[in-house]
Chain A
Amino acid sequence: MRISRIWLGEAAAAAGVTLEQAAFRWGNDDGSESAYTFINAQNVDLSQAATTAAILRFLINTIGDTPAKQFKLQVKRSTGPVSEWRDVPLDTGL
């Protein structure tokens, strides 16, 4: 009986830690972190020229107590020939 409680406790802890990319919103690079303006409403995609910078903001929801995380941004092409996910590199002028 005691063994069962331990097993259930471990299962609950493992199943309860989840990460969700829950929402996003595109913004303009026109102000500080808390003041820059948004381009569209939340969860509305962007259509914009390549040469204009934009801020892509994600909402991450968690269930459970996750350890410290480092997230990174990836991109892939979803039309034409669909590509694989690739890390978005720093702008090196290439």
Chain B
Amino acid sequence: MGAQRLAPDTIAASANYTSPVVGDIDDDPDSPDANWLAWDGNGNTDVRVTFPTPVLTPTVGAGLQEFRVWVRKSASGGNQTDLDIELWESGTLVRNLGTSSNITSTTGVLVTFTFNANELATASGANVEARVDQSAGGGGNPGNRRGLEVGAVEWNATLPNSGIAAAETLAFGDTAAISATGDLAASETLVFSDSATPALPTGGISASETIVFSDAANLKGGGALLAAETLAFSDAALLGGLGTIATVETLTFADAATLTGAGVLQGAETLVFSDAVFLRTYNPLTATATITFADAAFADLCVPFAITLSANIAASGENTTSRLTGGGTFGGGRIQDDENPADSVDLGLNESGEWAWVIKGSACAVDSLIYDFRLVESDDTELDTYTQIPQWTISAEGAMQAAVTLTFGNAAAISATGDLAALSTLTFSDAALLAATGALAGAETISFSETAAIGGFGTLQAAETIVFSDAATLTGTGALLASETLTFSDAVNLAGIGTLQCAETLVFTTAGDLVAAGGAIEAAVTLAFSDAASIGGIGTLEGVGPLAFTTAGILKGGGTLQAAVTLTFADAAILAGTGALLASETITLADAATLAATGALLASETITFADAATVTGTGTLQGAVTITFADVADLRTYNPIASSITLLFSDAAALFGTGSLAGSETLLFSDAALLAGIGTLQAAETVVFTPSGTLVPPDGALFANETITFSDAADLKGGGDLLGAATITITPAADLIGRAGIAAAESIDFTTAGAVTGIGTLAGAETITLTAVGTMQGLGALLAAETITFTPAGTLIAGAIAGTTTVEFATAGDLGGLGALLGSESITFTPQALLSGGRLFAAETLNLTGGGTLFGTGALNGATTIEISIAALLSSGGLETPSGRILPVQAKGKGLTALGKGRTIIVQQKGKTL
């Protein structure tokens, strides 16, 4: 039977005590404290106390209920003092249990009387009262009066079975050990603290309100642990029961609490595992509301292996024979399929034995994880040496389901292979590890953060949001589905080969790595890869909305990359896939973004390559509106690159492809832009090479219907045609070295240090201007329908120069080519212009004035007038003019010839006409 000590909780009535308080008498009479109810010196003392209700109904039987009192005489001598102890209920006397006569001890004595619970009107004992009444000695001669003082009162209630009951609080502290087989019940609170160890093989533990296990409390029962409100395990509390653990409100495991029971762990609303909680149970873990694993919580829902029956092994096992090598004399052993431990075997001196079990994975074994096996003695004593530890890599599954929220924090590890589902939120944070092979389904949100890892093969599905942050890793092969948002941030590693699908937004941020082998990655709204995000899958990566790759993002997929709105590659983003890259609006590769895809790169509006963006694929790069290469962008594609509006290469942008580069409106090469492709570079409107821009098309042509501009240090070294429908402008330091023709419908303008060394034709329909120190060394013709102008320091050392109206060499202009210099109207050499070769022809006037020098061996033909002004040096083979007017400063060579009447050759030397 069980027992419960009940201390008085109130003083219902008292007489002849000085300031009586219940706190002075609620201590244990067997180990009383120093407090007493002090006699006031006049009359017999009397105190009636009440008790809390026992946790169980007191057991009926003679002498089973006991009142125990610690009492003393106020002083020695004087009157005899007698004591009655009475049983009362709710202020009514039931029975005087007995009288202890002539109490003489002045230090304290125990007085005990018993009663039968059948004397009680209320069987539960709820109304029991004890009256300690001095029946003699307090009156009479004042000098002889003596009082009885009470130091402690208790009711030792005998209760049914061997349960332990407390009306309010049942506290087990320090090293308290409980091994009762009955119920352990507290109407309010059950507290196990410190190293308290209740072990209830069959009975249950229940509390109508709260059961608390704290510190190193250890619960090892086979019965149920039930709390109507809260069950709390904290600190290093250990729960090893086999029965059901249930609470209608909250079950909390905190700190290093450990749960190793095989029964059901059920929280009607909330189950919380925090800190270093270690959860091990064989059965499902269910909660109608929330299950939370935080910090280092560990849940191992069942033992991953079990001894399994075999059709080949007899019941209770068989003896073994010697089948392994490396042992001594064989002494026996057992093979078992229905027992663990095995049957006892006694090996002889230095003998060896063989033990075997038939096992298979249980529902909790996890694929790809490795399990070790060993033998120990039946009392858990380890063997002396483990030379070999067998291992099995296998998979299995268990289930975990939360109706609302499932949270895994810190180093929480989940190894269930069944469905892991939360109707609201699934959160994995810190070092949480999920190795399940079943489905992971959160109706609303699934969140993986920090070093959370998912290694399952099932489906990971959330109706709203799945978030992977920090170093979270997903290596499953199943589908990853979120109807709203999938976010991978930080060092997230997604190595699954299944489908990654998100109805709205899919975001890969810092160092995120997606290595899908073949499944599709889809987002209906946005696919964003930022920072070091990497995608190595070969499947389709498709976002109906924007697709963004930012800092260091890498895309190596072989499938199609398609965004209905925007595709953005920023920073060091790399696109190395072989599939198509499609964006209905904008594709942007910025910073060091690299595009090496062999498929098409298509954007209906804009494709931008910025900074060090590199394109090395062989596919088509097509932007319906604008394709922009900025900074050190590098384009090495073999297929056409087309833009209906603008193809912009700026800064150090380079184009090495062999395909055509076509912009229907504008092709712009700025700064150090390099165009080395052999295909056609065509712009419907304008092609612009800004400072340092270089065009090296060995064979291809450069076409622009309106304007081609080479400015600053632009360098054109190709062998193809450079054709500008309207204007071709080569500005200071521009270098043009083409073998084919250069033609502009309106003007070709070489300014400052622009150099032309090609062998083709340089044709400007209206105007060709070589200003400053521009050098022309081409062997082809230089043709202008109206005007060819060499401004100071301009040099021409090759081919013919023809201006249908005017060919003008301005101050210090140097014409050293061997070809013809033809001006349909006039050719003018301004002071210090140098002409040293070829034929110089002007339809009207050839004017060498102000020190111009003419060294050519060909003819000098002026249609009307050839004028060589003072200080001009003429050394050509012939000098002809229809007007016969030649005015050289100095004429050397074979002579001057007037070709007809009315023609004038005026040669002046030192102020006189020759």
Chain A residues proximal to chain B, CB less than 8 Å:
18-27, 29-34, 36, 42-43, 45-81, 83, 85-92, 94
Q: Is the CB of B344 within 8 A of A68?
A: yes
Q: Taking the nearest CB of chain B, how far is it from the CB of A19, in angstroms?
A: 4
The contact of A78 among B312, B360, B368, B370, by CB within 8 Å, is B370
Once the chains are docked, how many angstroms separate the CA of A45 from the CA of B393? 8
Q: Which residues of A contact B312 (CB under 8 A)?
A: 29-33, 36
B415, chain A: closest CB distance, angstroms: 7
- Asked if residues B394 and A50 are in contact (CB atoms below 8 Å), the reply is yes
Across the interface, do B307 and A23 meet the contact criterion of CB distance under 8 Å? no
Complex contacts, B411 vs chain A, CB 8 Å: 81
Residue contact B341 to A72, C-beta cutoff 8 Å: yes
Q: Which among B325, B370, B373 is the interface contact of A56 at CB below 8 angstroms?
A: B373
C-alpha spacing A50/B395, complex, angstroms: 5
Interface range, B side: 35 or more
Contacts of A77 in B (CB 8 A): 300, 304, 366, 369-372, 415
Complex Cα spacing A65 to B121, Å: 69
- Closest A residue to B280 by beta carbon equals A86
A75 to B345 Cα, complex, angstroms: 22
Interchain CB contact under 8 A, A70 and B350: no
Answer yes or no: B306 CB below 8 A from chain A CBs.
Answer: yes
Query: Given known contacts A42-B324, A62-B351, is B390 in contact with A24 (CB within 8 Å)?
Result: yes
Q: Which residues of A sit under 8 angstroms from B21, Cβ to Cβ?
A: none
| Closest residue on chain B to residue A65 by CB atoms | B349
CB nearest neighbor in A for B378: A70
User: Is B325 a contact of A73 with CB atoms below 8 Å?
Assistant: no
By the criterion CB–CB under 8 Å, are A69 and B387 in contact? no
9 shortest interchain CB distances as A-B pairs: A50-B361, A72-B341, A81-B413, A68-B346, A91-B306, A57-B356, A70-B378, A24-B390, A53-B360
Q: Known contacts A36-B312, A69-B344, A89-B303; decide if A57 and B354 are in contact (CB<8 Å).
A: yes
Question: Are B342 and A55 in contact, CB atoms less than 8 angstroms apart?
Answer: no
Whether A34 touches B372, Cβ cut-off 8 Å, given contacts A45-B393, A80-B413, is no
A60 x B326 contact (CB < 8 A): no
Choose from B347, B363, B388 the contact partner of A62 (Cβ within 8 Å): B347
Pair count A-B, CB < 8 A:
275
The answer to whether B340 touches A88, judged by C-beta atoms less than 8 angstroms apart, is yes
16 A-B pairs whose Cβ atoms sit less than 8 Å apart in the complex = A21-B375, A33-B320, A45-B393, A56-B390, A58-B354, A58-B355, A69-B347, A75-B305, A76-B372, A78-B372, A88-B303, A88-B357, A89-B306, A91-B307, A91-B309, A94-B282
In the assembled complex, the CB of A27 is this many whole angstroms from the nearest CB of chain B, namely 8
Q: Which residues of A contact B345 (CB under 8 A)?
A: 68-70
B118 within 8 A of A: no
CB-defined contacts of B335 to chain A, threshold 8 Å: 33, 55, 57
Contact A48 B347 (CB under 8 A): no
Q: Are A75 and B383 in contact (CB under 8 A)?
A: no
| Residue pair B321, A75 in contact (C-beta under 8 Å) | no
Closest chain A CB from B613 CB (angstroms)? 41
Q: Given contacts A36-B312, A81-B433, are A86 and B303 in contact (CB under 8 A)?
A: yes
The interface bits of chain B over 202-232 (1 if a CB of A lies within 8 angstroms of the residue's CB, else 0) are 0000000000000000000000000000000
* Inter-subunit contact A53/B358 (CB<8 Å): yes
Cβ–Cβ contact A69 & B324, under 8 A = no
Within 644-677 of B, Cβ neighbours of A (below 8 Å) are at none
B26 within 8 A of A: no
Alpha-carbon distance between A30 and B311 when the two chains are bound, in angstroms: 9
Quick one: which of A19, A23, A48 contacts B324, CB cutoff 8 A? A23
A89 to chain B, nearest CB (A): 6
Chain A residues near B441 (CB, 8 Å)? none
What CA separation (Å) do A36 and B356 show in the bound complex?
12
- Check B341 against A83 for contact (C-beta < 8 Å): no
Interface code B389-419, partner A: CB below 8 Å = 1, 0 otherwise?
1111111100000000000000101010000
> Which of A36, A67, A69, A89 is B307 in contact with, Cβ under 8 Å?
A89
Per the 8 Å Cβ criterion, residues 292-345 of B in contact with A are: 298, 300, 302-313, 318-321, 323-328, 331, 333, 335, 338-345
Q: Which residues of A contact B354 (CB under 8 A)?
A: 57-60
Asked if residues A54 and B360 are in contact (CB atoms below 8 Å), the reply is yes
Q: Are B350 and A64 within 8 A (Cβ)?
A: yes
Closest to A25 in B: B324
Q: Give the chain B neighbours of A32 by CB distance below 8 A.
A: 312
Residue of A29, A65, A90, A94 touching B338 (CB-CB under 8 A): A90
Q: How far is the CA of A88 from the CA of B323 in the complex (A)?
A: 23
Residues of B within 8 A of A58 (CB): 354-356, 375, 390
Q: Tell whether B34 is near chain A: CB-to-CB under 8 Å.
A: no
> Complex: how many Å from CA A76 to CA B328?
29
Is A79's CB under 8 angstroms from B355's CB? no
